[in-house]
């Protein structure tokens, strides 16, 4: 089966995010008051062939450990959608509507 998956890669809490800080300052300068905690990460979408959703999840997790994230400074979260046409999520479940594997 072919699964749509996402990996969200973020700098770990406590690791300074100068990009996020700069964006935060820009938002404040634009007049958005009360803005804080801006963090910038990577959102990676991919499709993967796997016998089950759990296998797809395990595969993308391995990808994160090996390549997609640098676990010295980054954490990641993997999400896998049910295969399209499977019925559970309808025919047009939006890719960005993440279904997190339990």
Partner 1 sequence: MTARAAIVVFPGSNCEGDCARALGALGVATELVWHTDEGLPDCDLVVVPGGFAHGDYLRTGAIARFSPVMGAVRAHAAAGKLVIGICNGWQILCEAGLLPGALRRNSGLKFVCKWTDIRVANAATPFSTRAEEGQVLRVPVNHFEGNWYCDRDVLSRVHANRQIVFRYADNPNGALDDVAGLTNEAGNVLGMMPHPERASEALLGSEDGRLILGSMLDHVSALAPA
Q: Which of residues 68 and 80 has its CB atom nearest to partner 1 in the complex?
A: 68
Binding to partner 1 in span 71-100, by CB under 8 A: 72-73
Q: Which is nearer to partner 1, 22 or 47 (CB)?
A: 22
Q: How far apart are CA 60 and CA 74, in angstroms?
A: 15
b (16+ CB within 10 A) / e for 67-92:
ebbeeeebebbbbbbbbbeeeeeeee
**Interface residues for partner 1 in 30-69 (CB under 8 A)?**
42, 67-68
Write down the least CB distance from residue 22 to partner 1, Å. Answer: 5
């Amino acid at each position: 089966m072919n699964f749509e998956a996402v990996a969200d890669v973020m700098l770990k809490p406590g690791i300074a995010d100068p990009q996020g800080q700069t964006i935060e300052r820009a938002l404040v300068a634009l007049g958005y008051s009360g803005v804080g905690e801006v963090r910038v990460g990577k959102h990676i979408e991919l499709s993967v062939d796997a016998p089950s959703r759990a296998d797809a999840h395990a595969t993308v997790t391995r990808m994160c450990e090996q390549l997609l994230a640098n676990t010295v400074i980054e954490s990641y979260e993997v999400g896998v959608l049910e295969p399209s046409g499977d019925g559970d999520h309808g025919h047009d479940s939006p890719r960005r509507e993440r279904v997190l594997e339990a």
